[in-house]
Structure 1
Amino acid sequence: MSEYTGDVTRGGPPAVRDLGGGLTLRKVSVGPMDNNAYFLTSGDQELLIDAANDAATLLDLAGSLRTVVTTHRHQDHWVALSEVVAKTGARSLAHEDDAPEIPVATETLRDGDVVTVGEHSLEVIHVVGHTPGSIVLAYQEAGGRAHLFTGDSLFPGGVGNTRGVRKNFESLINDVERKLFDRFGDDTWFYPGHGRDSTLGAERGSIPEWRARGW
């Protein structure tokens, strides 16, 4: 397995990472907005984060898909969801505040809930601002680093778009700082809804700049 960088292009192969303990990550870019979709596989169980687009691509990559989690309500993150769920029978999970805007959300999530894949657990962290029901999924290696799937709430270079609404920006940056940066270490790797990955350590020093610029 080549070294994981997180760099993917639409139509290209997935980036593959061994997260230890029998859990494998595959990241693939889909759709005209280059959304990232993430497969987590453990034994004969599989979880998909954001069935964003290109259903055929996702179905070709899917093995025994049990669960799809949608990080937030924006359409570019669930274009392929209905087809993927219909053809795999997977559960479809989203936060209760965004689920009414997401097709085939069969179960709802709240802050602190746990989603499992095989013997591995991912914690649901509710971060309000990009949308009311945006979530981050946190996986902690046994004795090792944490991995955060941040949707459109955190990117390299700043928090997600809050469309100039100051209240939403303040909510999002406060939640991201308190629930992510204050809790997890610098080696924590995060995987956003678009583009390249980063670590909390690489971004931590920029938080005052993000606050000052207001986006």
Structure 2
Amino acid sequence: MIRILLADDETMMRAGVRAILASDPALDVVAEASDGKEAVDLAISHRPDVALLDIRMPRLDGLAAAAEIRRVAPATAVVMLTTFGEDDYIAKALDVGASGFLLKSGDPRELIAGIHAVADGAAYLSPKVARSVISRLQGGRIARGAAARDRIEGLTEREREVLALLGAGLSNAEIARELHIVEGTVKAYVSAILTRLDVRNRVQAAIIAHEAGLVA
């Protein structure tokens, strides 16, 4: 069972999202918050697997709440849910450590798929968001590629293999099966990779993998 914290200041929106999540018996909304500060408090008390946060909320906005949740409850993955798809929101969400970014206007199936993906240790961006991120990466590709290759220089051969599969969107369990190792070992490799690359989350590591040419 995947335990979820749902935070949105609009009661009707929370009800709609909760109804979508209820269609999957593997998902359980264990707490709801109407502002960012309450979301942080509930993340501490309930320790959910996933925190689903709206970006615009009172007292503490979703981005600030995401950063605080990642600090006080690092085992809780964060997914941003918003009506806004602008690049600055996407960049900020990834920078504070969010593992997923979904648009409220997206397909409900994307919401469920995204929750499962981040709970399984992977990252998930809605297709529209993914296209935006890829578009942003087009500019300065040569310079970015050289910088990314420098950053992965210190990784071991096995760490590069794990990074390449991470960049391809595989979860920890899928990487373990691909490399014929246990999932706990994959988690250790991923943690070491994030530290060596000095990045906060799998999305940022995946971008480096692409820029460095580890992923076709």
Q: TM-score, normalised by structure 1?
A: 0.29
The structure with more helix, counted as a fraction of residues = 2
The structure with more strand, counted as a fraction of residues = 1
Q: TM-score, normalised by structure 2?
A: 0.29
